[in-house]
Chain A
Amino acid sequence: MKKIYLHPLPIRIWHWINAISFIVLIITGLQIRYRELMGLMKFREAVDIHNFFGFVLIFNFFIWLVYYIVTGKIKIYIPPLNLKKFVVGGLRQARYYGYGILMGEQNPHHSTPDNKFNPMQQMAYLAIMMLLIPLQLGSGLLLWDAKRFADWINLAGGIKIVDTVHVFLFLFFTAFIFVHVYLATLGHTAMAHIKAMFTGYEELEEEHSH
């Protein structure tokens, strides 16, 4: 069985810190917002934990950013300049998930360290990493000390606007995690991608020579 080193160690560490932080932030976020429906912990504890993991996530984001920029691997997130190729690739990938996979077809995309994401992933992760995560971290930071960042909050239109953005993204990420985990099971075996995120090596299905 061929193995390919897809996830370098810093990225694996980054990914699992992200994962844990997301889960904790979602739970404490729910506790902060829905006090009258949940009683896992006190409000104060929920806020303190949420703040702590919020900063962990901010720090983690910069680890990711610096690593990818320094190594130049950031390009795996950048879609090809050729729009036609990108759209066609995207449609092909969508067709695969909606039809091909059901018909037992092969995944049209083959991950390599230089071309890790399929066009759909590229699109999603570019938006998430470059737009949604910074927005979420930024809005979280503003809410963490609304007095200190009063000017930024005013610039954003007010604390209720900032909170709404933060909560909307929180809901998006919560929903996304279900899809993300499910897609992770769609390797050639259910655990293939998940294992790879621990070991770094993605096992490739033996290609049949025609």
Chain B
Amino acid sequence: MSEESAEKISGKGTLGLVIFGPILGLLYVCLLPLIALMTLMLALPELASAKKTDILENSSACMSCHSSQEFTKTFRNKEKMSVFVNAKDFKSSVHRFLSCSDCHMNISLESHPGSAAAYESKDAFAVKAALACRNCHSDAQLKAKPNHGFIANKTNAPPCTSCHGAHTVKRISEWKPALSSNNQYCLTCHSQKISKKQKNGEMLSLSIDPSMLAASVHNKHNCSDCHTEYSKTSHPVKQFDSNRQHSVAVSAACNKCHADKYKAVSESIHYKLIGEGNLKAPVCTDCHGFHAVGPKSTYETMSGVPCKKCHDDIFKIYSKSVHGVAKAKGQHNAPLCSSCHFAHDVKVSAMTEKVKGACLGCHKDAEAKHTKWLPNASLHLSAISCAACHSPGSGKGIYLKLYDQETGKAFTEEQMVKILGTTGEGLSQKIDPHGDGIESDELWRLVSRMNEKGTNAKVTFIGKMDVSNVSEAHQLSYKKNAVKECENCHSQGSDFFKNVTVAVVKADGRLIRHKAKSEVLGSMFSLLTLKQFYVLGSTRLKGLDWLGIVMVFGGMAVPIAHITLRILTSPIREAKRMNGARKEGKR
């Protein structure tokens, strides 16, 4: 059966070849040119486009040099830039259909390579080169993207190439999958050197160092956690009056998470100053920075303490003090600014009470230790600031503050203003009417005015002894350097009593100082104005000294006068005695 089948097939094949052979031959002869033509036609468009994409062919003259990594360009500022163009990258870019001269329009082979010194720097070159982009990409097209809002019409805008690259330009949509997080999205631009101009002309840098952000305590946050109005789809263009105003505005974001600290700040002297329009008073970002927010410990080191940015003069004094030296040596419990002044509800340590609390907070045995050698230690500690004795070389002074004897509290400026029915300025005028230093009668007039106007205010001035200069309160030294001799204070010639200040405390703790004449301490008026303040020997009444001289000399004069009279009258007595003796004799 297999043989028979094979025969049949063999028979048919011979017949087919005979019939189809010529037909196929004819077809082949006729169709081949057609197929070739069609194939050619199909390939033609491919050839046409291949002609365009092949930069090596189109811009072969350019690439003969720019495909080499050897060539560099040097700018006037000696910056060097490689002129290498990676053909592979370019071919994958969105601009792969363009030829070199489409963008680099001004380059002709006659003049190229020209003088690189035509540009000051790499940046200047980039700005110039990037102008080519605007030939195709109109302002309207740019503004359509929110991120570009600030670029249009801004002379200081970064060049397109700084975000999009020069030869590797891709659609932003192609970048997105490569960005790991929202932050990366924002950092695409904000890691660049970009800045914006405020209304007052100040420049605000918008660059963020990604490594600093990564190292900050906020590294788990999204940009939009703080910058709530910004997202991939929203990027409002904001302009502030000044960088300062920008700082104040952005600090409000901190309140979202740190409400407790925010509230504490609202009770601080800094906040008060901001309210008064003080442009130097710090907000959150002034101490903590914008993006490089560190952990708490960052701000508790000699190098990291932010206070010194403004209070550098005081910090320098502090760093030489016993506390500063200990802190620098790594003694962690040594106090830093915030130990006494607090970190967020920053307080002015307005002389004695509050500062003393801060000192005694650590030096808990201070009173006991003073009691061992200092008579009336507690009295001394209540009237003298720690710094007055423990800051050697500091200026000294007496600060007289008006107290309500009923409550034992010092009047604030605000209270005095209210009682006297005046203004802050009016109060200053009332305290020192002639502006030439307060005299004893002027002090008395103030006390009596307060007593008249106050409902039941029994007012008196109380003196506290302190350093004459705030900075000097920070130069606290070792115990061995402290003042120990009583004579330092208990002598009328002591420095303390030459420098008298009438101090009015504002509610926020700030002091308003008025110079007073030192005679106020020893005038007879002081019996009325300073009845609660007396330093043995030093603030004695001048009048009492004179009275003493009169009394003691009077006491001596009585015997002297009487003896004189007795001497003068002795002849009378002698005569009387003789007379009496004679009479006796006669008897």
Contact = CB atoms under 8 A, between A and B. Distances in A.
Contacts of A177: 555
B290 to A, nearest CB: 52
Contacts of B534: 159-160, 163
A157 B537 CA distance: 19
A35 interface: yes
Interface string B562-576: 110110010011001
Contact of B547 (A102, A168, A182): A168
Chain A, interface size category, equals 35 or more
A78 B573 CA distance: 34
Contact of A35 (B537, B539, B563): B537
Contact of B559 (A36, A102, A160, A179): A179
B375 A36 contact: no
B577 interface: yes
Contacts of A181: 559
A16 interface: no
Report whether over half of chain A's contact residues are helix, strand or loop; otherwise say mixed: helix
A103 B555 contact: no
Interface stretch (B18-26, B31-39, B484-492): B484-492
Given A33-B540, A174-B551, A43 B490 contact: yes
Candidate in B534, B541, B556 with the most chain A CB atoms within 10 angstroms? B534
A68 B566 CA distance: 36
Given A47-B375, A160-B534, A172-B551, A42 B486 contact: yes
Interface in B77-116: none
Interface in B480-526: 485-487, 490-493, 526
A171 B548 contact: yes
Contacts of B577: 104
Contacts of B460: 158
B40 to A, nearest CB: 117
A102 B565 contact: yes
B531 A35 contact: no
Nearest to B489: A43
Contact of A160 (B533, B548, B551, B573): B533
B487 A43 contact: yes
Nearest to A170: B548
Given A32-B537, A160-B527, A160-B530, A175 B572 contact: no
B422 interface: no
B531 A147 contact: no
A70 B405 CA distance: 43
Contact of A36 (B486, B493, B541, B572): B493
B559 A101 contact: no
Contacts of B572: 102-104
A127 interface: no
Interface stretch (B151-159, B221-229, B334-342, B376-384): B376-384
Report whether over half of chain B's contact residues are helix, strand or loop; otherwise say mixed: helix
A119 B490 CA distance: 43
B257 interface: no
Interface string B382-412: 1000000000000000000000010000000
B531 A158 contact: yes
Contacts of B415: none
A176 B555 CA distance: 6
Contacts of A207: none
A178 B492 contact: no
Interface residues of B, number: 45
A189 to B, nearest CB: 14
Nearest to B579: A104
Interface in B338-388: 375-376, 378-379, 382
B569 A102 contact: yes
B544 interface: yes
Given A164-B544, A177-B555, A104 B573 contact: yes
B383 to A, nearest CB: 10
Contacts of B485: 43
Nearest to B547: A171
A147 to B, nearest CB: 4
B554 interface: yes
Contact of B378 (A147, A154, A161, A178): A147
A208 to B, nearest CB: 8
B536 A32 contact: yes
Contacts of A182: 558-559, 562-563
Given A159-B533, A160-B530, A175 B486 contact: no
Nearest to A175: B555
B30 interface: no
Given A43-B490, A44-B486, A147 B382 contact: yes
Nearest to B377: A147
B536 A159 contact: no
Interface string B270-309: 0000000000000000000000000000000000000000
A145 B376 contact: yes
A167 interface: yes
B249 to A, nearest CB: 52
B532 interface: yes
Given A160-B531, A160-B534, A178-B556, A35 B551 contact: no
A52 interface: no
B376 A35 contact: no
A146 interface: yes
Contacts of A157: 531
Given A102-B569, A171-B547, A43 B486 contact: yes
Contacts of B531: 157-161
A160 B526 contact: yes
Contacts of B554: 175
A97 B534 CA distance: 42
Nearest to A186: B562
A5 interface: no
Contacts of A172: 551
A181 B560 CA distance: 12
B48 interface: no
A104 B575 CA distance: 10
A43 B491 CA distance: 9
A34 interface: yes
B544 A103 contact: no
Interface in A26-58: 32-36, 42-44, 47-48
A146 B537 contact: no
A126 to B, nearest CB: 20
B237 interface: no
A79 to B, nearest CB: 23
A34 B537 contact: yes
B172 interface: no
Contacts of B555: 174-179
Contacts of B43: none
Given A103-B569, A181-B559, 16 more contacts: A33-B536, A36-B491, A36-B493, A47-B486, A47-B536, A102-B572, A103-B576, A104-B572, A158-B531, A160-B533, A161-B531, A164-B541, A164-B544, A177-B555, A178-B556, A179-B555
Question: Which 7 A-B residue pairings sit nearest by Cβ, starting from the closest?
Answer: A175-B555, A158-B531, A182-B559, A104-B573, A102-B569, A178-B555, A43-B486
